[in-house]
Structure 1
Amino acid sequence: MSELEESFYALNWNNSISVAVITLISYEYMLQFEKEVTYVWQRQWSVMTYLYLAVRYFGIFLAIFGACWGGLFYIPEAVSYGMFLLMQWSYSVYYCLAEVVLIWRLYAIYNQSKLLLYVLLGLFLPIIAIYIAMDIFLWSRPSAISVQEITITPDIKYCTTVFHIGPMPAIYASIPVICFDIFLVILAIIVLGKHLRERKELRMKPNAYVIMIVRYHVIYFVLNLASQIIMAMLWDDLPTVAMNLVLLFNDTSPFIIVPRLIMSIWDTHANDNCVNVSTTFEDCVCWTSPPRLEQHEMDSRV
């Protein structure tokens, strides 16, 4: 395959993946829009509401922006590098927002423990510093990465990234982030184990919300682990097909799964036989109260 044919082949893959990204994100938004109106715009707002709106609409912006960059629409080389930096820094902001969602859910299932919240936020500050340092070292230096304009014909041009260092710095930077996610998963499993023991002693069924939140922590851990691996893989010399499939996953899955996990908990809560279903999820006694109090609340309304 000649250099011209290879460039045209890469551009076709880029545009096909871009269309797939826009289609998936748009379809997901239409599927969730009715629930969003019901559980966000027509309900009392809470901290999780603001987090949901951030990950939903910031995620849509990032997905569309990432899909358009490179080849779907021609972007001059003079501004392409700056737009690429904006995209990469925005990805880091999005992952930090997703981590805050996990921290807030742990705060909720630990009976709104202020101590736990402060500890987790304190540990999260170094993670933010790592993201900033990684974005400066990996993405913001011309010696590490640059943008090159490929001319196929006088009427067909596209921009692509050129990596100048290997994947090891990205791998090293991802290790603390993964360790922090492991710590969050361990905390979620600990509270689940305690909850299951209490319910077993009382011969009661486990609370569906606690199980759901812990399951979602595990799902997000797997998702973030995959995303960190993918970010490191991007620095390796991958074949065109593999690179575009990796980008398809990285440009869709976080922006679909994170808002959907929040929405699914609200949806379950709204359809539950809970006496306080009109309250915000974090303040609902049907899942934050001890088992005896929860049962008393339910029995008093029967």
Structure 2
Amino acid sequence: MSGLKESIYALDWNNNTAVVIITLITYEYMLQFEKEVTFVWERQWSVMAYLYLVVRYFGIALAMICAVWGGLIYIPETPYVKSYGMLLFMQWGFSLYFCLAEVVLIWRLYVLYNQSKIILYVLLGLFLPVIALYISMDAFLWSRRSAMSVQEVIITPNVKYCTATHHIGPMPAIYASIPIICYDILLVVLAMAVLGKHLKERKELRLKPSTYIVMIVRYHVIYFVLNLASQIIMAILWARPSIVVLKLVLLYKDTAPLIIVPRFIISIWDTHANDNCVHVSTTFEECVCWTSPPQLEQLETDHVAN
């Protein structure tokens, strides 16, 4: 394939994936907007409500910028409007987004462990090095022109686009992702430990498992797989893949995390609202139904016995 045909081929893939990203994010927003109004704007705000709004709207902005960067809306590489600067914003933005997603998981674990301060402090203490690692990765891998640069491709005087060029191999990204993956494994193990204890207690009482605990643990596992895939994708980007592979992995990276994390938060609220709970008017974090206190367990046991 000649240089001109290859450039046109890359631009077509860039614009097609951009349309898919915009469509998916817009459709997802429309699907969830009614629930957002019900469970966020019409309720008393909580810490999780603020986290939801941040990951929701920051994620939408990030996805739209990723979609239009490079080809769909041409941003020239000039001293005044730099496509390279936009690329840095996207990468640093994704690092911030993944940190916010980790905070959501930490907060859910804090609630699962009956608001244990020890668990909260330990997880936050271990999370600080992860934040430092994200910053170091972005500074070393993405913010140095010797490691990555932006190339302006001119097909015709009126048809231009920008593309990122990586100048080092994938190994630094792979090594840097290992501690992040280990931290996610810790979160999954803690969530599974709570679930195991809960299932054992429920089995002894001959009761069904709590829907909310099962749901939270399930989302921890999903997020672990999601973040693991994202870290692998980051490494693939530095391996200079083909155009098709590059655009497909970017399509995944620019949509899946930005859709799953807000859904993780709002799906629990939605389940709680549709449950037969006498405390349904309260926020999920304040409700006692899903933690199954001893007095409620006893009442439920007596009801089963009768």
Normalising by structure 2, what TM-score? 0.96
CA contact (8 A) 1:274 1:298 kept: no
Match of 1:59 in 2: 59
- Compute the RMSD of aligned alpha carbons: 1.4
Match of 2:28 in 1: 28
CA distance in 2: counterparts of 1:266 and 1:280, whole angstroms: 8
Instruction: State the Cα distance separating 1:114 from its structure 2 match.
Output: 1.2
Match of 2:276 in 1: 273
Instruction: State the Cα distance separating 1:294 from its structure 2 match.
Output: 4.6
Higher mean C-alpha displacement, 196-205 vs 50-59: 196-205
Off by >6 Å, runs of 4+ in structure 1: 297-300
1:75-94 CA-partner distances (Å, limit 9, x unpaired): 01121111111111001000
Matched, 1:122 2:130: no
1:180-232 CA-partner distances (Å, limit 9, x unpaired): 00000000000001111111111111111101100110000000000000011
Instruction: State the Cα distance separating 1:297 from its structure 2 match.
Output: 8.6
Match of 1:104 in 2: 107
Matched, 1:95 2:98: yes
- The correspondence for 1:199, drawn from 199, 202, 212, is 202
Residues 10-25 of structure 1 mapped to structure 2, 5 A cutoff? 10-25=10-25
CA distance in 1: counterparts of 2:9 and 2:197, whole angstroms: 55
Instruction: State the Cα distance separating 1:24 from its structure 2 match.
Output: 0.4
CA contact (8 A) 1:17 1:244 kept: yes
Extract unaligned runs of 5+ from structure 2. Answer: none
Instruction: State the Cα distance separating 1:290 from its structure 2 match.
Output: 2.4
CA contact (8 A) 2:63 2:258 kept: yes
CA distance in 1: counterparts of 2:126 and 2:63, whole angstroms: 29
Match of 1:44 in 2: 44
Q: Kindly, what percent of the aligned residue pairs are identical? A: 74
Instruction: State the Cα distance separating 1:288 from its structure 2 match.
Output: 2.0
CA contact (8 A) 1:18 1:72 kept: yes
CA distance in 2: counterparts of 1:278 and 1:298, whole angstroms: 25
Normalising by structure 1, what TM-score? 0.97
Instruction: State the Cα distance separating 1:287 from its structure 2 match.
Output: 1.3
CA distance in 2: counterparts of 1:289 and 1:119, whole angstroms: 25
CA distance in 1: counterparts of 2:154 and 2:25, whole angstroms: 30
CA distance in 2: counterparts of 1:25 and 1:234, whole angstroms: 23
Describe the SS at the equivalent of 2:124: helix
Paired amino acid for 1:223 = L
Extract unaligned runs of 5+ from structure 1. Answer: none
CA distance in 1: counterparts of 2:55 and 2:226, whole angstroms: 15
